[in-house]
Structures are given as structure tokens and as C-alpha cells.
Amino acid sequence: MIKKEDFFLFKKNESNDILVVFSAATVPIGKFSFSNQFKDANLNILYLNCPENTWYLKSPLGKNDGIKYYNNIVENIIKEYNLKGTKIALGGSMGAYGALLVGTALNFDRIICTGIETELFLENSNSKKYFLKKKGLEIPDLNNLICCSSFKEAIFIFGERDIIDIFSAAKINHDDRIKIIPLKNHTHSIPPVLMNKFELSDLFLTNNLIEKIESSFEIGDSIVNSNLNEIEILYRLMMEYHMSILKNHTKAQAIGVFENTKSRSIKSLVACWLGKSLALINPSESIYFLMQSIKYNLHLSESYPELVRLLRKENIEESLKYSSLVDTLHSPDILDSSIELLYEHAVNLYLTKNFEYTIKYMNYFLEYRPNHHHAKLLLGESLLEIGELNQGLEILESIYSKSNNNQKNRIEEIKARFK
């Protein structure tokens, strides 16, 4: 039996157990996160959505009573169908916030959160980007909800590449019911990463979920070997980078964290963001920290593009040595830094006149950035260099009208050279 409205979908099963799934941000009305992954699961499933992206703090009518609204839906379903078995709440990102709100309020048996923001509206966060209607909003104290609830178990899974998620995990009160799992070398979007190795319906409903994840992924040490103060400095360093500034006291504090933290994950991330921040200020110091970042985490691809660009000015062969690692670093979740490194590696190949491989990597890069003019310019010239005149000229002509004067002059020179 299926019961559906715009903001919830209930699938009845003969089981007494219920899984309540909270959708992430930007899921349209009438659609629900994970609905395909759990279609054959042997338990009752209630899917919830919050299409206005209000992190389940507002009801669909726009009132600031979201917690009460969604609690009522869940309670009514449990009561109507007399579901007295295990209660599980699940959500990713915005959905994780909803799962924690309702799961703690209704004393669920298990709460599973991936990529949760425990503090909303931080700069560069998803809630800052998508949660627009904040007027009159009261934000609950999640740690207070956790302390006052009788839930049995909460599992927080996040990617250590996302500094906001590290910060959020560090701010949770860690009592014996809470397990935090930082996945090394992964970003905010965790469900696709898990789906590469598991059927989510099997993973999230099994009793040994934690053991399965910890035996299948490299687990980072950002929480167990660091502290909130170190993570706050890392967060501030990243924010200043995005604002194109680096304050002296932030730099000094970040160097202090790099030198003293016991966490290899935090050491690598701090070195990475220090290196990126120093690139235009002190290139040699930037290179040092970027190399230190890689020393402590070879797979931290955010460190590579800037390092490759800086080394290119000094020694193209050294730059090529690092950019050639792109095949190892290009991860399944297609990080922006991995895409950026594809481009930098193609540029290095072009400069060393390896035109066939320039074509290979530039085409790969253009799959993700199809409107990148300089990439197309180098691709077109490389095709001309290996004798593919028609194809090369066609690409150059396709970008000519949209190019700036310098690029137009360059295209004219290239065309003249191959006439």
C-alpha cells in the first residue's frame, strides 16, 4: 500500500519496523531522496521532503513550525499503522539535519546522518546557499536535543575534504551513543561514495553498519586526533582564502596548528590551504606548504593544481612530475580540483610538445568544462600539430567570435602558421 502527498510518501510493509528518510536540498516537490535505493527494502518506509530548502525548520506553508509539522507526520504514520518495531531516521546534508531533529524528538532507535551541518549558515555552506527564507526563524540547539533525547544510536558519516563537515562533526557532543566516521579523501556528498561499494538498503539497515564502513574505507583522524580550536583555525583559513585575504594572525595560528596537531588529516588540510593562500604572496613558501600537504596526504588533490602552476614557472619537468599524478588522483566523485588538475596536466603536456597526450587530457577536461576557451585553443593547435587540420581549424573557428582580442590574435597566428 502506498500513501502519498506532495511532501511525504509512505510505503506500507508487513514489518513492524519503519525507516524515515529525509530528502536533501533541491529535491523537487513530489520527489524523494533514496526512493530508488530502498524500493525493495523489507520494512515500512516513510519518505519526507522539504522542497523550500528550509532544513525542516519550516513547514511547507512557510511557518516556523517545521519540527512540529514533520514530527506529526511521523507520529501519525506510526500510530495509524501500529508500528512498534525498530525506528530508523536517515538523511544526507539537509536531510541529515531533519533526521537528527525528528530522530531525537521521537527517541528513534537509530539516526544515520551523512554530511550534516550542525551549525547553519556558515560561510560557504549549503545552508547559506540554499536556505533563503530565514525571517523569524529559531534555530534549535542540536546538542541540547541530543542530551535530552532517549535515542539509542546516532551515526555521523562525513568526508574529510569538506571543512564545514569536519567543523560540524567537531561541534557535536560526543556521548557513548554517538559514532562519528570521517571518510578520508571524500567530500560532502557521501551516499554516492557508499553506493560504489554497497547496496544502501543492505548497508543502512544492517546491525554492523559501522564495521562495514570502517573495513571498506580509509578512516581519517580529524576528530580523534584534533580539537575544536584547531578545526576553527582551519575553517577561518579556508574562509579567508575564499575572500582573497590572509591575515597575519590567521597565518601564524595556522602554522601553529600545522606544527603541533596530532592529526595527519588536519596537518595536511592546513598545509594545503596555507599553500593556496600564499601562492600570490610568497610563491616559495606556498610551494613548501603544498608539498608538505602532499607529504601527509598524497591523495589530497586540492593541493596539486596550485603546486603545478607554481612549479611550471621554475621547472616544467618538476611540474609535469606532479601533474602526471592526475590519473591516480582523479576520483569517482569528480572533485573540482581533480578537473582543474586535468587541465594543468594538459597544459604541461602542450608545453613539452607532447601533443597527442595533450589532446587526450584536454578532451577529458572539456567533458566537464565544455566552454573553456583556452582549453579549446590548445586542443585545436595540438590537433593541427599532429596533422588533423580540418578538425583543428574547426575548433579554432568555433571559439573565435567569443574570444578576447589576445586570443583572436593567437588564433590568427596559429591559422597562418598551418596554411
Specify whether 195 is located in the same domain as 322. Answer: no
Rounded-to-integer distance, Cα 158 and Cα 98, Å: 16
Q: Which domain holds residue 9?
A: 2-216
Residue 65 burial (CB < 10 Å; 0-12/13-18/19+)?
A: middle
In sequence order, the β-bridge partners of residue 10 are 3, 46
Give me 43's grid cell. 520494512
Separation CA 31–CA 52 (nearest Å): 13
H helix runs in 243-372, sequence order: 248-260, 264-278, 283-296, 304-312, 316-323, 326-329, 336-351, 355-368
Are 166 and 300 in the same domain? Answer: no
Q: Both 328 and 200 in a single domain?
A: no
pTM: 0.89
User: Is residue 260 a part of any domain in this protein?
Assistant: no
pLDDT digits (tens, 9 = 90+) for 337-379: 888 999 999 999 999 999 999 999 999 999 999 999 999 999 9
The domain spanning residue 105 has which CATH number? 3.40.50.1820
β-pairing, 8-11 with 2-5?
antiparallel
3-state secondary structure of 21: strand
Q: Are 153 and 107 in contact (CB under 8 A)?
A: no
Which amino acid, residue 64?
N
The answer to whether residues 97 and 9 belong to one domain is yes
Q: Cα(305)–Cα(307) distance, rounded to whole angstroms?
A: 5
Residue 142 lies in a domain: yes
Residue type, 238: M
Question: Is 297 found in the same domain as 169?
Answer: no
Same domain (yes/no): 196, 283: no
Whether residue 241 lies inside any domain: the answer is no
Same domain, 212 and 272: no
Spatial contact of 195 and 219, defined as CB atoms under 8 Å apart: no
Residue 113, domain member (yes or no): yes
- Bridge-based pairing of strands 110-114 and 87-92 is parallel
The residue from 188, 216, 244 where one domain ends is: 216
pLDDT of residue 3: 59
Q: Under a CB-based contact definition with an 8 Å cutoff, are residues 288 and 277 in contact?
A: no
46: phi then psi, degrees, rounded to nearest 5: -115, 115
- The domain spanning residue 334 has which CATH number? 1.25.40.10
What's the total number of domains in the chain? 2
Q: What pLDDT score was predicted for residue 2?
A: 55
Do 49 and 23 touch, CB atoms closer than 8 A?
A: yes
Cell numbers describing residue 282: 610568497
Residue 377's pLDDT is 94
Q: What pLDDT, on a 0 to 100 scale, did the predictor assign at position 5?
A: 76
Helix (H) / strand (E) element for 180: namely: strand 178-183
Residue at which a domain ends, from 216, 234, 251: 216
Q: What confidence score (pLDDT) does residue 409 get? A: 87
Q: Are residues 151 and 24 in the same domain?
A: yes
Asked whether residue 186 is assigned to any structural domain, the reply reads yes
Coil, strand or helix: which one is 87? Answer: strand
**Residue 99: which of 151, 177, 59, 37 has the closest Cα?**
151
| Gap between the Cα atoms of 96 and 111, Å rounded | 9
Residue-by-residue pLDDT tens, the chain, 419 positions:
555 578 999 999 989 999 999 999 999 999 999 999 998 888 999 999 998 999 999 998 888 999 999 999 999 999 999 999 999 999 999 999 999 999 999 999 999 999 999 999 998 899 999 998 777 788 999 999 999 999 999 999 999 999 999 999 999 988 899 999 999 989 899 999 999 899 988 899 888 999 999 999 999 999 999 999 999 999 999 999 999 999 999 999 999 999 999 999 999 999 999 999 999 999 999 999 999 999 999 888 889 999 999 999 999 999 999 999 988 875 545 567 888 999 999 999 999 999 999 999 999 999 999 999 999 999 999 999 999 999 999 999 999 888 888 888 888 888 888 87
Q: DSSP per residue over 193-214, as a string?
A: HHHTTS-HHHHTTSTTHHHHHH
Tell me if 223 is assigned to some domain.
no
Report pLDDT for 335: 65
Angle at 291 between CA 288 and CA 297, to 5 degrees: 145
Give CA–CA dist 371/391, Å, rounded.
Answer: 17
Is 237 a member of any domain? Answer: no
Same domain, 118 and 43: yes
Rounded Cα distance between 315 and 317, Å, is: 6
Q: Residues near 187 by Cβ (< 8 Å), separated by ≥ 6?
A: 159, 161, 162, 333, 335
Looking at the fold, whether 302 and 189 belong to one and the same domain comes out as no
Q: 339: alpha, beta or left, given left = phi > 0 and alpha = psi -120 to 50? A: alpha
**Of the residues 216, 247, 276, the one at which a domain ends:** 216
Q: Do residues 47 and 182 both lie within one domain? A: yes
The answer to whether residue 235 sits within a structural domain is no
- Asked if residue 325 and residue 388 are part of one domain, the reply reads yes
Measure the CA–CA gap between 179 and 154, rounded to whole angstroms.
Answer: 6
Query: Using one digit for the tens of pLDDT, what is the confidence trace for 24-55?
Result: 999 999 999 999 999 888 899 999 999 899 99
- The DSSP symbol for 64 reads S
